[in-house]
Amino acid sequence: MKILVLGAGAWGTALAMSASQNPQLRHEVTLWARDAVQAAAMRATRLNARYLPDLPLPVSLRVVDGPARGLAALAQGQDLVVVGTPMAGLRGVLQELAGFDQAVAWLCKGFEPADQGRHGLLAHEIQAQLAPGLRAGVLSGPSFAQEVARGQPTALVAASRHAAVRERLVQAFHSPTLRVYDNEDIVGVEVGGAVKNVLAIATGLCDGLGLGLNARAALITRGLAEMTRL
């Protein structure tokens, strides 16, 4: 499978590394960086020194750079495009990919910053505005980029209304150490990805106050129940 990952931050790089090293499938993975200097350094040193300094890039991982306006041409011929930009950059990328006819998925969690009286939108709402014809979805879940890049056990969920998108994401990233489960509820997955950070901050406060493991377990249990109701 030909996979293009847009965004050479920690999470985009980690997933590109994971797909490149999948022992069961021989994917052709390309990682795009907006910053030409960063991309050149990654090609020369085979490291993403800015975000994952101790983890060498796989030999097979191709690193490219260029302006965002060239993304549509870069995406041609790819089987899957994964958008690893921050939420603030998703709108511009989706505008460039509006005519792409293969699967697209984003990694960003949360809401778009409100602007000029516009409420903050979830990623699928931005896509519905700008590129309603895209076959798109989200890859999300409780995860740290460094652990995925190291090949430590992780579970994610591929959510989309399109079965073909979910299947493509599972084929791209499912491996012995990275388990990808498919789900039709893209709204629920995006809401969960956004509001779980509130629970994470509260858990950190609980630990900082020294309230103990019982309090932490109670907070997580009741927090998950509240997230489910929401």
> Residue written as tokens 């309603």?
132
pLDDT band, residue 22 (cuts 50/70/90): confident
Contacts of residue 213, Cβ cutoff 8 Å, sequence gap at least 6: none
Residue-wise pLDDT tens digits, 91-119? 999 999 999 999 999 999 999 888 766 77
Q: Please give the Cα distance from 162 to 183 (Å, whole number).
A: 10
Residue-wise pLDDT tens digits, 72-95? 999 999 999 999 999 999 999 999
Name the active-site residue from 79, 196, 203, 227.
196
pLDDT of residue 25: 77
Contacts of residue 108, Cβ cutoff 8 Å, sequence gap at least 6: 83, 84, 85, 86, 87, 90, 123
pLDDT of residue 26: 86
CA 41, 43, 48, 49: dihedral to nearest 10 degrees?
-30
Is 149 a residue whose pLDDT tops 80?
Answer: yes
Is 224 a residue whose pLDDT tops 90?
Answer: yes
Distances in whole angstroms, Cα of residue 51 to Cα of each of 8, 139, 200? 9, 20, 22
Residue-wise pLDDT tens digits, 156-176? 999 999 999 999 999 999 999
pTM: 0.92
Give the helix/strand (H/E) hosting 90. Answer: helix 87-96
How many C-beta atoms surround the C-beta of residue 12 within 10 A? 24
Q: What is the mean pLDDT of the chain?
A: 94
Share of the chain above pLDDT 70, in %: 98
Beta strands 80-83 and 2-6, pairing class? parallel
pLDDT band, residue 191 (cuts 50/70/90): very high
- Is 196 a residue of the active site? yes
pLDDT of residue 116: 63
Cβ-contact 140, 193 below 8 angstroms = yes
pLDDT of residue 117: 65
